[in-house]
């Protein structure tokens, strides 16, 4: 495939030298693409979402019962008559509804007072072994 750009148009040419697509250039450098095939078999690839899902998203994740009620009461202008199946939940809403589990409580709670007493005992035990008698220098204090 080759793509040739000129000042007025753009041509897409296949390996056989045939023009497959032609684009007409506008003033703002945009191209309007037109199919040049005889059978018009080239189609634009699109994705189509479920209309209920699109309205669910447009209405800020309104639940399906609320959407169904809005349709029957005609509460929202422009909302089409949709066929809503109960029990369908979109993936984003399902993730938001998940809850966190609490952690299990510890069996042996250590309070800060008990913790500090055990630390003091360890420090006191280790400090008594290394104490040496030091006589104060009398001349330094005079």
pTM: 0.39
Residue 87's beta-bridge partner residues? none
When the pLDDT of each residue in the chain is averaged and rounded to a whole number, the result is: 75
118-142 residues labelled b (16+ CB within 10 A) or e (exposed): eeeeeeeeeeeeeeeeeeeeeeeee
Cβ-contact 95, 58 below 8 angstroms: no
Q: Per residue in 52-101, pLDDT tens? A: 888 888 898 888 889 999 999 999 999 999 888 877 778 888 888 788 77
Q: Per residue in 3-36, pLDDT tens? A: 999 889 988 889 999 888 888 888 888 888 876 6
Rounded Cα distance between 97 and 42, Å, is 43
Cβ-contact 23, 7 below 8 angstroms: no
* Matching residue, tokens 């994705």: 47
Q: What is the pLDDT of residue 136?
A: 54
């Amino acid at each position: 495939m080759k793509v040739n750009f000129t000042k007025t148009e753009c041509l897409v040419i296949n390996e056989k030298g045939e023009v497959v697509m032609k684009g007409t250039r506008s003033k703002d450098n945009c191209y309007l693409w037109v199919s040049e095939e005889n059978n018009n078999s080239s189609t634009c690839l699109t994705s189509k979402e479920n209309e209920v899902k699109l309205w669910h998203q447009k209405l800020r994740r309104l639940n399906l019962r609320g959407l169904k009620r809005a349709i029957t009461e005609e509460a929202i202008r422009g909302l089409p008559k949709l066929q809503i199946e109960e029990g369908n939940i979109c993936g984003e809403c399902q993730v938001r509804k998940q809850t966190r589990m609490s952690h299990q409580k510890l069996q042996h709670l250590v309070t800060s007072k008990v913790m500090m007493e055990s630390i003091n005992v360890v420090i006191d035990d280790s400090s008594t072994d290394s104490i040496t008698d030091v006589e104060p220098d009398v001349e330094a204090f005079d």
